[in-house]
Each structure stands twice: as C-alpha cells, then as structure tokens.
Amino acid sequence: MGQDQTRPMNKPRSKAVLERGAVADLWRHTLSHIPAMFGRLVYLSSLRNIHTGKYEHHGLSLVFGDLEADRALRRSHAEAFNEWLDYSLEQQKADLALYLSSLAGDRRSIVDNWARLQPYRNFVPASAREVERRLYLSDFETLLHILKTEFGLSRRDED
C-alpha cells in the first residue's frame, strides 16, 4: 500500500507536496516522452488558456486540483523555457531539428508557416522577463532565417 492510502481522507496535503507531486507526475507521464526541449515548450504553452492565462490539464486537475495543476504547468513551462535559453544556438538548432522530425507534414511548409504566422511568439511563458523574451525571439528568428535559407524560402521575403 502506498503512503497516500493510509493518509486520512480529510487531511489535505501541503501545497509544496502537492506541487512537487504534480510536477513529478507531469514529468513522469508526459514531458519525459517528448524528446525535444522545444517540443516540451510547445506542448506546455498549448495548455495555457489564451483567455485567462491559466494552465489547464484535465488529468493533473483530477489528481491534484486546478490550482496545483496550474502551478505545476506554469513552473514546468518556465523551466523548459529557461533550459531552451541556456542552449547554445547550435544546440537550439539541433533540438529544433529533432522537434521538426517529430511533426507530420512537409518541413518546408512548416517553416514557411512559422515565418508567416509566427506561432513561436506564443511559446514564451508569462513569467519571462523582457530580456529573456527578446533573447528567445532573437535566437528563434535567427534559427528561422537559417531554416528558410536551407529550405530555399529566403527569396519569398522579397515578395
């Protein structure tokens, strides 16, 4: 029997225990299965409600509650973002290539879409400082320029 089964039903866990549990659960069941750091960043940002800014994950909420799930997702998003920023440009490019290899569809079309619609701007956590946001955008736009050149999309900028 696990320790949780012997805990009285009416005695809540401390906030720190719940959050660590939610973060560990998120890592164990989801994030560890996403090989690219950029993929984790995309996934975590997709769980942020665009209207409220709160993170929503049905499974985590069922086990840990809405507040703890939001905290765990918010924290994990910030950690993934900071880890991405810590990568060198070369590491970011390799990670981005790994992420691209996991996507269905034509890589050239994906890169073209990124250049036109700029969805990568939405992958920044709200907690990011302005200097971190600028660094991320600068790095990503540099990588995007490299990818556009590799895919022969650079000439379309002139149109």
pLDDT category at 23 given cuts 50, 70, 90 is confident
Number of domains present in the structure of the chain: 1
- Percent of the chain at pLDDT exceeding 90: 74
pLDDT category at 20 given cuts 50, 70, 90 is low
HSE of 149, CA atoms in CB hemisphere, 13 A: 6
Taking the C-alpha atoms of residue 75 and residue 23, their distance in angstroms, rounded to an integer, is 8
pLDDT at 156 over 60: no
Domain that holds residue 58: 3-158
pLDDT in tens, 83-109: 999 999 999 999 999 999 999 999 999
pLDDT at 16 over 60: no
The amino acid occupying position 131 is V
The encoded tokens of residue 43 equal: 């996934």
The pTM for the full model equals: 0.82
Alpha-carbon distance values, 92 to 4, 16, 21, 36, 158 (Å):
40, 32, 29, 10, 27
